[in-house]
Amino acid sequence: MGPCPHGAQRSPVIDPALLRRYDAPVPRYTSYPTARHFQNAVTESVFRASIASSNEDLIPSDLSLYVHLPFCRRPCFYCGCTRIVTRDASRASRYLEQLHQEIALQGAEIDRDRVVRQLHLGGGTPTYFTDAELASLMDAIRKAFTLDEGVDREFGIEVDPRTLDTARLHHLLSLGFNRVSFGIQDLDFKVQQAINRVQDPRYTLTLVEQAQGLGFASVNVDLLYGLPGQSPECFMATVEAILGIRPGRIALYGYAHLPQQFRYQRQIPASSLPDAEARIRLFLGAYERFMAAGYHPIGLDHFAREGDRLLDALQDGSLQRNFQGYSTHAGLDSLAVGISAISRIGTLYAQNTKDEEDYLTSLRAGHLPIRVGYHLNPDDVIRADVIERIMCHEELDGNAVEKRHRICFPEYFASSLERLEELERDELVERSGNRVVLRPLGKILRRIVAARFDAYLQPENPDGHYSRMI
Ligand code: SF4
């Protein structure tokens, strides 16, 4: 389904009862297998060897670089990120110093003719740091790597409107960022109080508008449904306010309440959360408004309007999924720095320590702080490809999978295809020969479709570690 010439998208008729039936915990598939399967056999020397070998590839791939800046001044209660809540600037400076060291160490491993096409600063709150600190971080990155300085580069930064003003937006542009992503979640004051993230709606919306006017190639806003005290009426007011300023991209995430895993979530009483029915209404209400306003759904949880590169990437087949969500450059090796950051070089995942002290000590001793990871086996490679296509695109072409991996698609995936039959009956997918097409409900529930190809997950025995589908 391409964009409607008149702007508005046809909204599919979604049966809430079916949504409810498939509302099980499933991975978000930012990687396959998921990080739960990482093992400690992947060490610094394995990682270095993998980079060295990728430099020797006939055509070494270009790069994506992720920089994790975990510091925040106060905790948002819903947050599930790896982050450090502190107002101690010297603690953050110590981290930054070792981050520079890690950037230099990784850069020394990579051939300089491999270009960083995609750069993402995430957190935490990257704008926790001062303009001078961000400038010196970008200098360190430019010193260690060859950066794409052309218009096709995708250099993004996550920003917290509470740490931003117009001058800072100009500064980010001058550092080379051409994408900016605003954490908004909900503009309603009571909801903001309940999640410990109070930000002035008018100020926030003005900053987003300014960013669009200043020349960022893409401006994204993050919204979150399923928050404490969030009613469909108040959330729709947020949705309408956002549509009023028409950002290029909107990410709509569902809040996953996992208080056993995330300490601050224990501040949110389960009784204050919308129930399953209300969550579905929140999601569908926003989804339908975005469609009616001319936004196109992208993958799992993004919406883009015409002119945004994410929509172009969906249409030209270059959309890809990685640890940061969706991006527009396919086939890049991913390097990542900072605590908990995950790199992927060819068939190797390598993850840094999640512990701040371990991170600092390791780098002071001149070592990359790799602690766990995973080597994809040949079956993982095939399934990762299939799952990424389902997570990004609107159909899976089994013939193309056969050609890429030299397998017989129906034989190789016999049990997965058998498990798809239920989804066919419920009109999530349609099969014709080796093609699996996602129907409107299947696009919303694409994690369920992808899970049918996951060799590690039995959909009959959902794993409560993952977030629920809706
Ligand atoms: S949501 Fe963002 S700003 Fe809030 S605590 Fe988490 S990382 Fe920090």
Six-digit token pair at 288? 């339908």
Q: Are 89 and 128 a contacting pair, CB within 8 Å? A: no
DSSP-assigned letter for residue 6: T
Measured in whole angstroms, how far is the alpha carbon of residue 179 from the centre of its chain?
Answer: 14
Same domain, 116 and 136: yes
Provide, rounded to the nearest whole percent, the portion of the chain with pLDDT above 70.
94
What would the mean pLDDT of 62-88 be, rounded to a whole number? Answer: 96
Mutation test residue for ligand 1: of 78, 79, 181, the one with most atoms within 8 Å of CB: 79
Strands 370-375 and 395-397: unpaired
Task: Cite the DSSP H helix spans in 293-438.
Answer: 309-316, 356-364, 378-392, 398-405, 409-412, 414-425
Q: Would you say residue 4 has pLDDT above 80?
A: no
Evaluate if residue 376 carries a pLDDT over 70. yes
Residue 9, pLDDT above cutoff 80: no
Mutation test residue for ligand 1: of 71, 82, 83, 86, the one with most atoms within 8 Å of CB: 83
Do 287 and 416 belong to one domain?
Answer: no
Buried b (16+ CB within 10 A) or exposed e, 216-236: bbbbbbbbbbbbbbbebebbe
CB of 454 closer than 6 A to ligand 1?
A: no
Q: Which of 21-25, 221-225, 435-439, 446-450 has the lowest mean pLDDT?
A: 21-25
Q: How far is the CA of 451 from the centre of ligand 1 (A)?
A: 29
Nearest CA to ligand 1 atom 7: 124
423 and 278 co-located in one domain? no
Is 139 found in the same domain as 68?
Answer: yes
Choose between 215 and 146: higher pLDDT: 146
pLDDT, tens digit (0-9, with 9 covering 90-100), for 338-347: 999 999 999 9
If asked whether residues 222 and 326 sit together in one domain, one would say yes
Q: What span, in angstroms and rounded, lies between the C-alpha atoms of 344 and 329?
A: 14
Query: Pick from 411, 426, 413: which is nearest to 452 by CA?
Result: 413
Residues 223 and 285 in one domain: yes
pLDDT at 1: 34
Please give the average per-residue pLDDT across 26-37, as a whole number: 92
Name the nearest CA neighbour of 392 among 448, 446, 470, 332. Answer: 446
Share of the chain above pLDDT 90, in %: 84
Q: Read off the tokens for 251.
A: 């990410």
- Among 308, 309, 310, which Cα is nearest to 248's? 308
Q: Is the CB of 158 under 6 A from ligand 1?
A: no
Spatial strand order of the sheet with 429-432 comes to 395-397, 435-438, 429-432
Pocket test for ligand 1, best of 68, 71, 78, 81 (most atoms within 8 A of CB): 81
56 and 18 in a common domain: no
Task: Tell me the C-alpha to C-alpha distance, in Å, between residue 332 and each of 55, 209, 227, 236, 468.
Answer: 13, 32, 35, 38, 30
CATH number at residue 274: 3.20.20.70
User: Which residues have C-beta within 8 Å of that of residue 402, sequence separation ≥ 6?
Assistant: 408, 409, 434
Q: Are 33 and 387 in contact (CB under 8 A)?
A: no
Residue 367 domain-assigned (yes or no): no
Q: Is 447 in the pocket of ligand 1 (CB under 6 A)?
A: no
* pLDDT on residue 3: 36
**Does 98 map to a domain?**
yes
- Output the CA 345–ligand 1 centroid distance in Å: 28
Chain CA centroid to CA 252, Å: 11
**Residue 348 belongs to a domain:** no
Give exposure, 44-58, as e/b (b: 16+ Cβ within 10 Å): eeebbebbeebeeee
Find out whether the beta carbon of 160 lies less than 6 Å from any atom of ligand 1: yes
Q: Which of 71, 72, 185 to mutate to test the pocket of ligand 1 (most atoms within 8 A of CB)?
A: 72
- Residue 372 is assigned to a structural domain of this protein: no
pLDDT of residue 19: 79
Burial of 264 (0-12, 13-18, 19+ CB in 10 A): middle
Tell me: the pLDDT tens digits for 228-256?
999 999 999 999 999 999 999 999 999 99
Same domain? For 264 and 323 the reply is yes
Mark which of 275, 298, 333 sits at the end of a domain: 333
pLDDT of residue 325: 85
Give strand pairing partners of 438: 429
Residue 323 lies in a domain: yes
CATH number at residue 451: 1.10.10.920
How many domains does the chain fold into? 2
pLDDT in tens, 182-197: 999 999 999 999 999 9
Do residues 27 and 47 both lie within one domain? no
- Tell me, yes or no, whether 4 lies in a domain: no
pLDDT of 2 reads: 36
CA distance 47 to 308: 35
* Cα–Cα nearest to 154, from 130, 176, 135, 123: 176
Residues 23 and 105 grouped into a single domain: no
Give the residue whose CA is nearest to atom 6 of ligand 1. Answer: 79
Angle formed by the axes of helices 131-144 and 166-174, nearest 10°: 10
423 Cβ below 6 A of ligand 1 = no
Q: Which residue has the higher pLDDT, 408 or 322?
A: 408
Ligand 1 atom 4, closest CA: 76
345 vs 321, higher pLDDT = 345
Centre of ligand 1 from the C-alpha of residue 184, in Å? 11
In one letter, which amino acid is 243?
L
Band (pLDDT 50/70/90 cuts) for residue 419 is very high
Distance 169 CA to ligand 1 centre (A): 19
The range of the structural domain enclosing residue 70 comes to: 36-333
The reply to whether 344 falls in a domain is no
Q: Report the mean per-residue pLDDT for the chain.
A: 93
Cβ–ligand 1 distance for 76 under 6 Å, the answer yes
Residue 345 lies in a domain: no
Last residue within a domain, chosen from 333, 356, 391? 333
Do 41 and 105 belong together in one domain? Answer: yes
83 in ligand 1 pocket by Cβ < 6 Å? Answer: yes
Q: Which residues pair with 432 in a beta bridge?
A: 435
For the cut 80, the answer to whether the pLDDT of residue 5 exceeds it is: no
Does residue 227's CB lie within 6 angstroms of at least one atom of ligand 1?
Answer: no
Domain endpoint, select from 333, 364, 388: 333
* Number of residues that make up the chain: 470
Residue 8 pLDDT more than 50? no
- Rounded to the nearest angstrom, the distance between the alpha carbon of 76 and the centre of ligand 1 is 5
Q: Are residues 68 and 28 located together in one domain of the fold?
A: no
Which of the four pLDDT bands, split at 50, 70 and 90, describes residue 289? very high
